[in-house]
Structure 1
Amino acid sequence: MRHPVITDPAQLPKAFEEALNAGDVDAVLALFAPGAAMRTVTGERVTGAEALRAEIGGTVAARGRLTNVQRHTLVGAGTALLVTDWTLEVDTPDGERITPTGTTANIARQDADGHWRFTVLNPLGTA
């Protein structure tokens, strides 16, 4: 399956939302640059393709439903800071449906081919 090419970094949060809500782990992972890192909502640091796949796959398995609202995009020198408000509905292991919210401080970079990809995802923002 071909994944969308992101040529504007402000499109990344919406592309992440759409791919996650569709349950398409591969499409979510296509938005990450090689070597990307992610901080989970529990504060754990996740790096590497396998760990990222496990984290995203776990969210999909928990019937994750994400809503992103882009607040700011600041671009300079082929790098972008993306500040996004989010709400994520998920099922807990005991079957309870919870809805954590927060504000991200994510970083993306532009590849030589002009595509933008996440390099650091931090859903806890400055917390």
Structure 2
Amino acid sequence: MSTFVITDPAQLPVAFEDALNAGDVDAVLALFAPGAAMRTVSGDLITGPGALRAEISGTVAARGRLTNVQRHTLVGAGTALLVTDWTMEIDTPAGERVAPTGTTANIARQDPSDGSWRFALLNPLGTA
């Protein structure tokens, strides 16, 4: 598992992409703050370490390959809004390789004890 500390919230999407593409589920999960939640591409809201692990593990198992392009990072009061365009190449259960795209609206928060940033809420569907 990665011990890399994110000190700039704009680096979170880069770190997420790198860890996911490396198939490192633990490194992806290390980017989440305690109590974090994620909206899945199917629209479900998942919370808790087990549900997040299952979601990320499923993406890795489907040979997910993520490309993120940062659009905006807005920071204030120890909170950041990260708007990122993404493409996710992934194998469907039928074995077809697809590449859906979208725009995230993610929230990160800064840990006041060490200044590190982690995701509090991932929303790959943006405003949809």
| 8 Å Cα contact 2:35/2:47 also seen in 1 | yes
Q: 1:84-126 deviations in whole A, cap 9, x for unaligned? A: 0000000011101110100000000000211000000000000
Shift of 1:63: 0.1
Aligned to 2:19: 19
User: Which amino acid is 2:61 matched to?
Assistant: A
Distance in 2 (CA, whole Å) between partners of 1:16 and 1:3 is: 13
Distance in 2 (CA, whole Å) between partners of 1:68 and 1:3 is: 22
Shift of 1:4: 1.2
Percent identity (aligned):
83
> What's the TM-score once normalised by structure 1's chain length?
0.98
Q: 1:26-53 deviations in whole A, cap 9, x for unaligned? A: 0000000000000011111110000000
Gaps of 5+ in 2: none
| 8 Å Cα contact 2:104/2:123 also seen in 1 | yes
Equivalenced residue count is: 127
Aligned to 2:104: 104
Runs (4+) of structure 1 exceeding 3 A deviation are none
Distance in 1 (CA, whole Å) between partners of 2:56 and 2:4 is: 18
Aligned to 2:117: 116
Shift of 1:3: 2.4
Secondary structure at the aligned position of 1:36 is classed as strand
Gaps of 5+ in 1: none
